[in-house]
Amino acid sequence: MAQRSRRERVAWRAASLALLGFAAFAITITLFVLWATSAGALATTLSALLLAAPALGGLWCALKARRRTQSIASALGEAWRSGARDVLEGVDREFTSSELARVLGLPTAETETLLAALNVDDQVFARVTDDGDVAYRARLPARVRVEAELPDALREDGLALRTKDRMER
């Protein structure tokens, strides 16, 4: 997706430069001809309207190129987040941001930003270690709660009494 967006961005920039260059050249020639012939208001207005089309087209192409640039940044950010998530899901241990930075080949600061974004979306879970570092993992370890004795509400006779009361109502 990012590669296609890059190609499209280059095409839109080239079209923008071509149209704006043509518009600038055409405006210069037209203004010279209008000055040399002392044309009237109608000829000047028509010329301005005709020359506005390539100029507006060039501006529109420049806006399309800017949108492609934004989509490239978004696609690359999503790819890095996906890669970091895949690395963390592939192992069953915690990583610090510096360890993950070495694996991904990114600077530590970028990796911390990446992990913070994943933590906000609950795709990665963070924990502060005893050393004060923040460790990340893809999923929380399983937790099981076991009580020594069942409460009265869950005992067989208590459950039967509650069910019978509800059915009578």
The pLDDT tens digits of the residues spanning 73-100 come to 777 788 888 888 888 887 777 878 888 8
Q: Please tell me whether residue 135 adopts helix, strand or coil conformation.
A: strand
* Phi, psi dihedrals of residue 42, rounded to the nearest 5°: -65, -45
Q: Write down the pLDDT at residue 161.
A: 46
Q: Which domain holds residue 121?
A: 91-142
Looking up tokens 């260059």, which residue turns up? 21
pTM above 0.85, yes or no: no
Q: Please, how many CA atoms are within 13 Å of residue 157, restricted to the half-sphere of its CB?
A: 1
Asked if the structure places residue 83 within a domain, the reply is no
Residues 4 and 28 in one domain: yes
Asked if the structure places residue 160 within a domain, the reply is no
Query: Percentage of the chain with pLDDT > 70?
Result: 80
Residues 125 and 69 in one domain: no
Please report the DSSP string for 16-41 in residue order. HHHHHHHHHHHHHHHHHHHHHHT--H
The 10s digit of each residue's pLDDT in 116-125 is 888 787 778 8
Q: Which residues contact 15 (CB under 8 A, 6 or more apart)?
A: 58, 61
